[in-house]
Amino acid sequence: MAAPSAANRSADARPTPPPAPVITATLLSSRMRFLPKCVCSADHATSPRSVECQLRYLHSRLHRSGSRVWAMDGPAPIADFVPVLSNWRAARSTETLQRDFSDPDFDDSDWLPIEVPSHWQTQPGFEDFDGTLLYRADLRVPALQAGQRRWLRFDGLCYTGDVFLDGAYVGQTEGYFTHHRFDVTDLTSRSGTYTLAVEVGAPRETPGERKRAITGWFTEAPGTPPTWNPAGIWQPVSIVDTGAVAIRHFRATCVAADERRAEIALRAVLFADDTADIELVTEVAGTSDVSTHRVSAGENQVEWHVSVPLPELWWPHERGEQPMYPLSVQARIPNGTISDRKYRRIGFRTTSMRDFILRINGERVFARGINVGPIELDLASASVDAMRDEILAIREAGFNFIRVRSHVNRVEFYDLCDDLGMMVWQDFPLIGAYVRGITDRAEAQAREMVDFLSHHPSIVVWGGHYRPHTDEPRTTSAPDLRRQQMPSWNRSILDRAVSGTMRGDDPSRRTVAHSEVAPHIPQLRGSDLGQFFGWFDRPASELAEYAAALPRFVRFVSDMGSQALPEHIEKDLDALLDVAGAEVEALHAVIPASDYAEASNWVKSTRHHQADVLKTSIETLRALKYRPVGGFCAGLWRGVGPGLSRALIDHDGTPRPALDAAKTALQPVLPILYPPEPTLHAHHLATIALHICNDRDEDLELTVTATITDQRGTSIKQWQGLADADAVSYLGDIEVRGGRIGQSATVELLAEGSDGRWTNRYVISAT
């Protein structure tokens, strides 16, 4: 970027930015660990164009590091930077403080210091506070140059905020994940220090009443302590300087892709000072597109498409590579000045879902999924390294699919899913029943979510409202059909509005309007459903029978399994049961504490029961692959706090036995008995079907050996042949003879091929 000429420079003007080589060194040193892959040229590692694209991407993210960033191209005066928001202070709101706190001359010397970004309950003096908190900070900015506009941006504030600058009201925010941008040009045109004041409110919902705040699992993920409130300015606050035309909202979505061509649909909401002709310059994957548009004063919505020839396609990690392309859009005014710009990373692929069977780039993919909540209660301070480790661990356990359950995560989470080839079902944060006045707000936040995330190829499904019909906890293994037949405002009106917004803004992905809604009159379509056999009122062995009777109810099982307690009891047991989502009555009904003299043995029993139930459930659903099951999500990956939950890993990182059970059941090639918990009567001969489940995209020549140890002794049976790609193949039957009641027989299975061996084991008790 060229420095302003001496004629245009004044004492109040922005200082000359450092030369390009210095910028490059600063950018690389501050974020080098998290550089994404670049595929903009054949030589990714050394191409100067590749490095430039990486820097542009980092430029769009660097506001998180607190460093100032000058524009990297185009004539003056455009620059994005994070201001020095120093000396943040906070105080609990009172009527007097609310009236006076925004005044720049207000004396806040007795206020407590607070970090931003953060959740205020992680800060000294506010650990147990609920209600409204007042923030103040010093904002130092340089003078604006002619033709510039200045915007104050909040990347995340939970939950509502009223913003003031030097006593003037700037605007209001609502929604914990949405970005808000306020025009502060007239208020900060001169260089100097200004007082930023923000009133943040995040009151708790009243139990038993319909909700008002759209927060989902951000505030009530399983294991969340009853005292936790993630309120506060939890994402960065920044200043963005633009020219006379600013890009206020931006969306980029891959709507078609094959080996010959990819098509990107782009949408921008432009704010202009006056009527003007502008050029939108789009650069991606070696393609440059220039389109001209006339804009009027105020907001203007512009949509256009860009075609990219011969793209490399993005695939889930089991099917191929994950190339990501830097994308930039510049708004240029007639004199050639770049007035504003946006950067994204995008991957090219198509996705579809019919009868809950996914297709990526036209190929079927069976979804072996896990539900994921916020990686930590303190999501604001979660490190990118921790996120990467978590996603890698999920992938290495055998999952290929993540459901971001009822919340929107940090942006880095989705970047990592793109790079690691994990498919994502992204939920909108609605859980349970809401008041009737939220429809407009919910639609606006749904549109923000699509704008925020639609460029990520890893996201293959949008999800709407979880359990819209009730806030009451689940009490049966299978869904209760009778309660869902009548229409309700949440399911029939709110969900239709929210899903219609997401579907209209992004028709390239399947939108599932709601979850946990059984087929109901008149269409009988239904949605994904949780099936909790082995918990509540029915054993895990009955899931296979249920699936045969009601196949539509298991097309996509979005939750399953039993709950268990953490291994390390750091507090009394009552506290571990008093957390969000704990199903205490079911726990005592299935595994009564009164049966155990020692609490530690009771805890251990809950953990082993969880493992047995999860293995049976996963194997049952994998045996029904595509007939009719399109996929599943198994419980919860990690608990956000100590407590009773379906997590496979305790909040402190301790793996539960259920994790090992899942790893066995998720092997890409798996020999399985069906049903996985067969009935074996005492002194009778049982005939059990043996199948091989092959999730690979190639046929495999296998030898499968079954070793049966029962009342008769040990016998071996063996099969050789071809296991079809991406299919379940029936091999034959085995016979097991039951002994006396309670006596166990074992079946050990081994599948061997040229590039691997896969095992499974069953212990079957006679009844």
What does the pLDDT read at residue 574?
A: 85
Long-range contacts at 409-415 (CB < 8 A, ≥ 24 apart)? 409/372, 409/374, 409/375, 409/379, 410/235, 410/379, 410/382, 411/61, 411/452, 412/34, 412/384, 412/387, 413/375, 413/387, 414/453, 414/456, 414/458, 414/459, 415/36, 415/345, 415/456
Distance CA 393, CA 114 (A): 34
Residue-range domains of the chain with CATH: 1-238 (2.60.120.260), 243-349 (2.60.40.10), 351-666 (3.20.20.80), 672-765 (2.60.40.10)
In 10 A of CB 571, how many CB atoms?
Answer: 12
Report the pLDDT value the prediction gives residue 83, as an integer from 0 to 100. 58
Instruction: Tell which residue, 281, 279, 291, has the closest CA to residue 334.
Output: 279
Rounded Cα distance between 211 and 406, Å, is 14
Q: What is the DSSP code (8-state) at residue 645?
A: B
Q: In this structure, are strands 423-431 and 338-346 parallel, antiparallel, or unpaired?
A: unpaired
List, in order, residues 6 or more apart from 628 with CB less than 8 Å away.
355, 551, 552, 554, 555
Q: How far apart are CA 418 and CA 545, in angstroms?
A: 38
The answer to whether the beta carbons of residues 689 and 619 sit under 8 Å apart is: no
Determine the pLDDT at residue 16: 37
- The whole-number pLDDT of residue 409 equals 95
Query: What pLDDT, on the 0 to 100 scale, is given for residue 232?
Result: 97
Distance, in Å, from the CA atom of 374 to the CA atom of 183, rounded to the nearest integer, reads: 32
What is d(CA 581, CA 570) in angstroms, rounded to the nearest whole number? 19
Range list of H helices, 302-453: 384-396, 411-420, 439-453
Alpha carbon distance 487, 493 (integer Å): 9
For the beta carbon of residue 315, count every other beta carbon within 10 angstroms.
Answer: 21
* Consecutive 10-residue averages of pLDDT for the chain (767 residues): 35 34 23 35 36 41 34 40 74 96 97 96 95 95 91 95 97 96 94 95 83 90 88 94 95 98 98 94 97 96 97 97 97 90 97 97 98 91 94 98 96 97 97 93 97 98 91 86 74 94 97 87 74 96 95 95 89 84 94 93 96 97 97 94 93 95 97 91 93 96 96 95 96 93 94 95 93
pLDDT of amino acid 586: 95
pLDDT at 521: 60
The radius of gyration of the chain from alpha carbons, rounded to an integer in Å, stands at: 28
- pLDDT at residue 68 in the model: 32
375: left (phi over 0), alpha (psi -120 to 50) or beta: alpha
Residue 456 to residue 344: CA distance in whole angstroms: 9
Q: Which residues contact 200 (CB under 8 A, 6 or more apart)?
A: 120, 132, 133, 134, 135, 157, 158, 159, 160, 161, 231, 232, 233
